Structure 1
Amino acid sequence: MYTTLIAAEQLARHIDDANWVIVDCRHDLMNLSAGRAAYAAGHLPHAVFADMETELSGAKRDAGGAFRGRHPLPEVDAFIETLRSWGVNDDTQVVAYDAHGGMFAARLWWMLRWVGHEAVAVLDGGLAAWQAQGLALTNAVDAKPRGTIQAHRALVSTVSAPEVLANIGRGERLVVDARSPDRFRGENETIDPVGGHIPGARNRFFKDNLQADGHFKAPAQLKTELATVVDDAARAIMQCGSGVTACHNLLALEVAGMPGAALYPGSWSEWCADPSRPVATGA
């Protein structure tokens, strides 16, 4: 069972296994059709496509009309139906990949753990690592038999905006923001019209988890680096712009042997939508 990362050569040995499901998670936040177009042009053999906006996210507003963020979690039942449509069973090994250092694949990795499925890994190095091994792509789309996966006890935890707000006064938990340093400081109004971060938060840019070639850093190096930001993972809350790249930090913590951090799914996009919530700027 692979539960964090899988190398391209390891995946290649199982690419035709009937009970392995490969999921293409490529996406572009500025061009929402780019991921599906890239999949159609060429993808790993037998891979299915995951749409970030419609399958890995839910309704942006709750029943009362409150904004939940740009990529709120879908309802559990809806996500289970998506997994079944991909052919996922309770004993299926799922492998997620993208072409963006794992920033979108990590979201699917976390979501499968959210519904209690442990056998899920991210392709280390993504599409580039697969092609660097001389392995082929295809534009064929397989007909998958419907899966039978059930929702089980979550292997991860989440926190809500009210919980994050209450924690500001208590300071019992540490919020770690995966956005780029300029966005964290409040200096990128193009992406974040309301700039800044949650008071008391620290910054760990998700790309700092990667080597120059796009592979994750070694576990020991990740542990050393992450320990300078996260003193106790069990008391940490991971967030980002909309609950996507925060999952990259959660995966890095898991690789480093530092499990237990929670995700704030609404993240900055939900937080800053309510002007009554406090905002900090600067480093």
Structure 2
Amino acid sequence: MHTTLIDAATLSQHLQDPKWVILDCRHDLMHPNAGFDSFAIGHIEGAQFANIDTDLSGAKTGADGKFLGRHPLPGRAALIETLRGWGISDDTQVVAYDAHGGMFAARLWWLLRWVGHPAVAVLNGGLVAWQSAGLPMVTHAERRTPGSLSEKSSLVPTVSVDDVLNNLSTQARTVVDARANDRYRGENETIDPVGGHIPGAKNRFFKDNLTADGRFKDSAQLKAEFAPLFDEPSKAIMQCGSGVTACHNLLALEVAGLPGAALYPGSWSEWVGDTTRPVATGNH
């Protein structure tokens, strides 16, 4: 069972394995159709396309009319049906990849763990590593026989916006923001019209988890780099712009042997949906 990362050579040996499902998670936050367009041009054999906006996210507004963020979690039942539609069963090894260092694939990795499925890994180095190894791409899409994945107890914790708000006074947990530093400081209005960060949050840009070739740093290096941010993973909350790249930090923590941190799914986009919630700017 592969539960964190998998290399291109290993994946290439299982392209015809009926118990393996490969999902292409390419996406562009500024160009929503770019992921599928890239998939149509070429993808790993047997891969199916997973859309961040529709397959891996839920409605942006809750039943009470409150804004839940740009990429809220999908309903668990709806997600299970989507996963089954891709041919995933309880004994399926799932592999997710993208072309962005795992930026989007990590979201799928986390979601499967959220519904209790541990056999999911991210292709280390993504499509770049696959192509660098001289491995083939195809253009034809495949449909799998529906799977029978069952919903099990979650393997990962989450926190709500109220939990994060209450933490401002208790300071019981450390909030870690996965956005680029200019967004954290409040200096990128193109992506974050309301700039800044949750007061007290620390910054760990998700790309800092990667080496120059786009692969994850090794366990020891990741562990050393996360060490100054918090004492205990179970007392840490990972967030980002909309609950996507925060999952990259959560995957890096698993690689580092530091499991237990929680995801704040709504993240910054939900936080600033209510102007009464405080905002901090700059590097502090």
What is the TM-score of this pair, normalised by structure 2?
A: 0.99
Shift of 1:143: 2.6
Greater shift in the superposed pair: 220-229 or 247-256 = 220-229
Shift of 1:229: 1.5
2:38 corresponds to which residue?
Answer: 38
Cα-Cα RMSD: 0.6
Once residues 250 and 228 of structure 2 are traced to their aligned partners in structure 1, the CA distance between those partners, rounded to angstroms, is 15
Once residues 222 and 82 of structure 1 are traced to their aligned partners in structure 2, the CA distance between those partners, rounded to angstroms, is 33
Letter in 2 for 1:100: H
Q: For 1:165-185, what per-residue CA distance to the aligned partner results, in whole angstroms no more than 9, with x for missing partners?
A: 001000000000000011111
User: CA contact under 8 A between 2:89 and 2:147: conserved in structure 1?
Assistant: yes
List aligned pairs for 1:13-162, cutoff 5 A. Answer: 13-162=13-162
Greater shift in the superposed pair: 52-61 or 135-144 = 135-144
Shift of 1:16: 1.1
User: CA contact under 8 A between 2:84 and 2:147: conserved in structure 1?
Assistant: yes
Structure 1: 5+ residue runs without aligned partners? none
List aligned pairs for 1:203-282, cutoff 5 A. Answer: 203-282=203-282
Once residues 97 and 54 of structure 1 are traced to their aligned partners in structure 2, the CA distance between those partners, rounded to angstroms, is 17
Letter in 1 for 2:225: E
Indicate the SS of the match to 1:238: strand
Shift of 1:230: 2.6
Q: For 1:121-170, what per-residue CA distance to the aligned partner results, in whole angstroms no more than 9, with x for missing partners?
A: 00000001011111000011123111000110000011000110001000
Kindly, what percent of the aligned residue pairs are identical? 66
What is the TM-score of this pair, normalised by structure 1?
A: 0.99
Shift of 1:193: 1.0
User: CA contact under 8 A between 2:86 and 2:143: conserved in structure 1?
Assistant: no
Once residues 44 and 200 of structure 2 are traced to their aligned partners in structure 1, the CA distance between those partners, rounded to angstroms, is 42
Indicate the SS of the match to 1:54: coil
Letter in 1 for 2:224: T
Once residues 185 and 236 of structure 1 are traced to their aligned partners in structure 2, the CA distance between those partners, rounded to angstroms, is 20
Letter in 1 for 2:65: G
Runs of 4+, deviation exceeding 2 Å: none
Indicate the SS of the match to 1:14: coil
